[in-house]
Amino acid sequence: MQLFQERKFGNLISDTFTFFKEFGKNYFKNYLALNGVLMLLFVVVFIFGYREFFLQMINSNVNGNSYFFQSYFQENNLLLILGFVVFVLLFLLMSIIMYTFPVLYMKRIAETGDRNIKPDQMLGDIKKNIGKFIIFFLGTLFIMTPVMFILMAISSFLMVVVIGFFLLILLMPAFINVMNFTLFDYLNTNKGFFESLGYALKVNFSKMFDSQQAKFWKYWGSTVICFMIIYVVLMVFTFIPSIFLGLGMSTIPEVGNPQSDPAEVFSGGMGIFFFVIYGISTLVSFMLYNVMYVNAGLQYYDSRTDLHRTINLSEIDTIGNSEF
């Protein structure tokens, strides 16, 4: 599969799944080797923390204790602080791998054509680019995200005249594309963060309203389709826990009944099943978002027309040699 080539809208979608057909086994083998344990620990910490918070919230609402959370935090502040620190550390480590792995894996394929990439090779690539990722993270947090919030606030205000609704639909995929293009360009070249950000903005918004040359709509549509595919698959996992949650809530005894214990609804077998399914859906979501990242990579390689010409010329040079 050639990565550096021009692709039409349909090819961006189909080639995303072709990529996983050709490289999926090796891709996820490396991905799970580097990130599997971190994802599992993250989900366990998140689910247990969420379950505890959820159970306490139910007790608070049913018993009418308005100071319940204040007293709960005061009694368990050390444990909560420790849990929060562990959660943040796991999230940061996991995020580094989740965001950099697809970029660096595709980069290694594009440069070497290797179909048997090893985990230690990917770990070495990630270590070399941690500094760049930190800069990217800070740039996203303090530059790109505030601008996005401002634009979303304006769009929300304009929803009173309907146009804001359409702006919101346009903004989120466009923001995701700019962020992904910036990361891909930043890790694939020797450019600085602002140079890569400028490239991402130029590629996505240059000649936006020229139907013959604009790339915005092709990339925007590709991102939307991938998001919809991921959303539909995740609905399968989230729909079942939602049904059980509704059934569980309907069995909670009436407020004021001194004999009732609403927390029993989620501390028993049904509650365990609900949170296990919720944890599985979280793990599945982590895996599925690789579809979005690989699709973003194909968009980036589509935009690198400078390398398309180089590859085509190198292929022409090898034609004569292959005849002997």
Instruction: Tell which wins on pLDDT, 62 or 97.
Output: 97
- Specify the pTM: 0.84
Sequence-ordered list of residues with C-beta below 8 angstroms from that of 29, at least 6 positions apart, any chain:
119
The pLDDT tens digits for 80-90 are 788 788 888 99
Closest Cα to residue 15, out of 25, 31, 1?
1
- For all residues of the chain together, what is the average pLDDT? 82
Instruction: Decide if pLDDT at 265 tops 60.
Output: no
The DSSP element (H or E) to which 192 belongs, if any, is none
Residue 190 belongs to some domain of the structure: no
Sequence-ordered list of residues with C-beta below 8 angstroms from that of 162, at least 6 positions apart, any chain:
none
Distance separating alpha carbons of residues 294 and 201, to the nearest angstrom: 19
Closest Cα to residue 223, out of 20, 3, 16, 18?
16
Sequence-ordered list of residues with C-beta below 8 angstroms from that of 310, at least 6 positions apart, any chain:
4
Distance separating alpha carbons of residues 148 and 171, to the nearest angstrom: 8
| Structure-block tokens of residue 149 | 């919030």
Strands (E), the chain: none
Instruction: Say which amino acid occupies 124.
Output: G
Residue 310 belongs to some domain of the structure: yes
Instruction: Tell which wins on pLDDT, 48 or 293.
Output: 293
The whole-number average pLDDT for the span 114-137 is 95
In this prediction, residue 321 has a pLDDT band, given cuts at 50, 70 and 90, of: very low
In this prediction, residue 193 has a pLDDT band, given cuts at 50, 70 and 90, of: very high
Residue 225 belongs to some domain of the structure: yes
Distance separating alpha carbons of residues 22 and 41, to the nearest angstrom: 30
Residue 217 belongs to some domain of the structure: yes
Please give the angle made by the CA atoms of 248, 44 and 72, to the nearest 5 degrees. 65
The pLDDT tens digits for 147-163 are 999 988 888 887 777 67
Residue 243 belongs to some domain of the structure: yes
Residue 105 belongs to some domain of the structure: yes
Distance separating alpha carbons of residues 114 and 108, to the nearest angstrom: 7
Instruction: Tell which wins on pLDDT, 49 or 189.
Output: 189
What confidence score (pLDDT) does residue 194 get? 96
Distance from chain centroid for Cα 254: 41
Instruction: Decide if pLDDT at 184 tops 90.
Output: yes
Provide the domain limits for residue 29. Answer: 9-138+211-251+260-316
In this prediction, residue 179 has a pLDDT band, given cuts at 50, 70 and 90, of: very high
8 A C-beta contact, residue 274 and residue 241? yes
Residue 121 belongs to some domain of the structure: yes
In this prediction, residue 250 has a pLDDT band, given cuts at 50, 70 and 90, of: low
Closest Cα to residue 203, out of 222, 228, 220?
220
What confidence score (pLDDT) does residue 206 get? 80
Residue 203 belongs to some domain of the structure: no
- Give the count of domains, the chain: 1
- What letter would DSSP give residue 12? H
Instruction: Decide if pLDDT at 234 tops 90.
Output: no
